[in-house]
Structure 1
Amino acid sequence: MCGRFVSKTDAEMERAFGLTRSGWRKGWAGFNVAPSQAVPIVRAVDGEREGALVRWGLIPFWAKGEVPRYSTINARVETIEKAASYRGPWKRGQRCVIPALGFYEWKQLEKGKQPWFIRVAGGMPFGLLGLWDRSTRGDGEVIESCTIITLPANPLVAEIHAKGRMPAMRTPEECAHWLEGEEHAARGVLTPFPAARMEAWPVSRKVNSPANDGPELVQPLDDAEGPVVSS
């Protein structure tokens, strides 16, 4: 799964994803982005790439703006075409990319769970692949929201995540098929990102609380069980 990630919204990120118009907060950076928060997304609208802020945790259009009782922060790739919450946005082509610099997963150790920071090697930005939807409350308020797609993990992430899952992700240059492609082309990019192009290391347990935020959260621990991993 993917339950926390790191992102930013600056001119560099806008250029990386080719935005032609942006509704992002300028100069924002989040080092411990958590579910239910407003997150930046990129989506294709009328032939242009648009940046928007939406709720992380998808609220289906038919839910009348009410948050589902079950978690919708992640959508399993195996069920996006048939699950009630996701089949609508999938069929309507409401695909999006959540710009990121890394994400966290927790490894089970004898003394508890140890968070790890995982990113594309070298720290290059990438996109978490997701779906977005729009739902309207009874009072007319419109809520836009998103979910991040997960799939079977590559060897690097599988070594960390006990359930062997990871987010679907691609570099900015590789996101075209997902954002603008036909359904079959989009389906084709839902494969594990190559482990050889990733790196990871253990970080402070301060990341366990969404209240903690700051660049220190992604710094490697000197005394953690496990070295920096790069396949």
Structure 2
Amino acid sequence: MCGRTACTLGPDEVCRSCSVRTVGKDGKKQYQAPQWRDHPGDHTYRPSTNIAPTRYTPVMISEHHVRGVKRENEGSELPSQCIIQPMLWGLIPPFYKGENATGHGYSTTNCRLEDIEEKKSYKPSLVKGQRCVVLCDGFYEWQSTKGNKNKQPYFIHAPQPEGVKIWDRSTWDVKGVWSEEEGWKGPKLLKMAGIFSIWMSAEGGEVMSYSVVTKASEGKFTSLHHRVPAILNTDQEVQDWLDFGHVNYRTALSHLAKGQPDLEWYPVSTQVNNSRNQEPELNHPIDLDKKPPQSASSQLMSNWLKMGSGRVKKEEKSGNIKEKEVKKENGKDDEVKEENVKEEPGSSDK
């Protein structure tokens, strides 16, 4: 928890969706979007409805972590500007000395708020002020309160502006969706608290990676899962989490422990269970009361069983056989592949 996300906006749209109202030296009020920074090396972000760990996704950090950044709105009322850039999902421990960025073998997709200070993988990031905000349309969760078989996936997202459907781009992608005067009118992204690290390969290549901070869930979300990401609901909460110069990490962690996020969710297709599936409809809502269409192989098996059952009954009636049992088998294509569902990646941090 969480082990799969969706982020379907392009880099410019991600930045604009994080616009903050500022006041310039001239007293003019306008919305300012954070700058986008490409990750060093060939590590790019690709929008997707099904993002698994080890992918590069948009993350917001303070400008003070990046050298040589030129402020676009010098003198604004904000004490610090933000930068958005792709980072590897799955924090690379600072003590790791291997050759491959993802070869350390530790489960660092998520880090638990309750013991984050005790983990040697995460404590250095806290001390250095390496706090970040993970941006996404939402995340997927598999209901864990109704047994372990055939878990139903759900897509969890922030409450959206009136008329905006998070899964339907046509409801918001229109002229005037963003302006300096009125800000962003498109989908509201989830902003999850995270920590990051900077790892250098033997060749001197830099890789920035992150882990999502999670905590025990409360209220209605407990019907879906026992843990939830630490969500930053307001611009002030985002600023306090990123402003390591004025808010020390113990105070910042105490803020995360308070309250529960305002979230909404709906069921989605089990096709999202396999991270290789990248269809654009994976985050669309489905009707659980409506039986999904049967796969070709399952349909063939069903027809075969019906034919076999008919033959048995006919033979029994004619007295050609005394007894024969027909067993119905479930087509494998209709089963949820549990090996592709990770209830809470980061098992070492449960």
Cα distance in 2, alignment partners of residues 224 and 39 from structure 1: 34
Identity of aligned residues (%): 31
**Aligned pair 1:170/2:232, yes or no?**
yes
1:157 corresponds to which residue? 221
CA contact (8 A) 1:177 1:185 kept: no
Cα distance in 1, alignment partners of residues 123 and 97 from structure 2: 17
**Aligned pair 1:23/2:22, yes or no?**
no
Cα distance in 1, alignment partners of residues 238 and 266 from structure 2: 26
State the secondary structure of the residue aligned to 1:139.
coil
**Aligned pair 1:145/2:244, yes or no?**
no
Cα distance in 2, alignment partners of residues 98 and 32 from structure 1: 15
TM-score (norm 2): 0.58
**Aligned pair 1:72/2:108, yes or no?**
yes
CA contact (8 A) 1:9 1:24 kept: no
Query: Which is further off, 182-191 or 86-95?
Result: 182-191
Gap change, CA 1:192 and 1:78, over 3 Å in 2: same
Cα distance in 2, alignment partners of residues 224 and 176 from structure 1: 43
Cα distance in 2, alignment partners of residues 139 and 130 from structure 1: 27
Deviation at 1:193, TM superposition (A): 5.9
CA contact (8 A) 1:4 1:35 kept: yes
Deviation at 1:194, TM superposition (A): 3.5
State the secondary structure of the residue aligned to 2:286.
coil
CA contact (8 A) 1:40 1:54 kept: yes
RMSD: 2.4
Gap change, CA 1:40 and 1:78, over 3 Å in 2: same
1:54-203 equivalences in 2 (<5 Å): 54-64=87-97, 66=101, 67-108=103-144, 109=146, 111-122=149-160, 123=166, 124-161=188-225, 164-171=226-233, 173=235, 174-181=237-244, 182-183=247-248, 184-191=250-257, 194=260, 197-203=262-268
- How many correspondences in the alignment? 222
Is the strand fraction higher in 1 or 2? Answer: 1
State the secondary structure of the residue aligned to 1:221.
coil
Deviation >6 Å, runs of 4+: none
Deviation at 1:192, TM superposition (A): 6.4
Gap change, CA 1:24 and 1:216, over 3 Å in 2: farther
Query: Which is further off, 173-182 or 86-95?
Result: 173-182
Gap change, CA 1:106 and 1:192, over 3 Å in 2: farther
Structure 2 regions of 5+ residues with no counterpart? Answer: 20-32, 65-79, 161-165, 167-187, 291-350
1:98-137, CA deviations, whole angstroms, 9 ceiling, x for partnerless residues?
A: 1111111101446511101111122521211100101112
Deviation at 1:220, TM superposition (A): 1.7
Deviation at 1:224, TM superposition (A): 5.2
Cα distance in 2, alignment partners of residues 186 and 113 from structure 1: 35
Query: Which is further off, 132-141 or 183-192?
Result: 183-192
Cα distance in 1, alignment partners of residues 255 and 48 from structure 2: 26
Rg comparison, structure with higher value:
2
TM-score (norm 1): 0.86
Cα distance in 1, alignment partners of residues 18 and 234 from structure 2: 5
AA at the equivalent of 2:50: N
Cα distance in 1, alignment partners of residues 201 and 154 from structure 2: 38
Cα distance in 2, alignment partners of residues 188 and 32 from structure 1: 31
Query: Which is further off, 21-30 or 74-83?
Result: 21-30
Cα distance in 1, alignment partners of residues 241 and 10 from structure 2: 20
**Aligned pair 1:4/2:18, yes or no?**
no
State the secondary structure of the residue aligned to 1:201.
strand
CA contact (8 A) 1:35 1:73 kept: yes
AA at the equivalent of 1:202: P
Deviation at 1:27, TM superposition (A): 9.3
The one of 48, 51, 60 aligned to 1:42: 60
State the secondary structure of the residue aligned to 1:187.
helix
Structure 1 regions of 5+ residues with no counterpart? Answer: 226-231
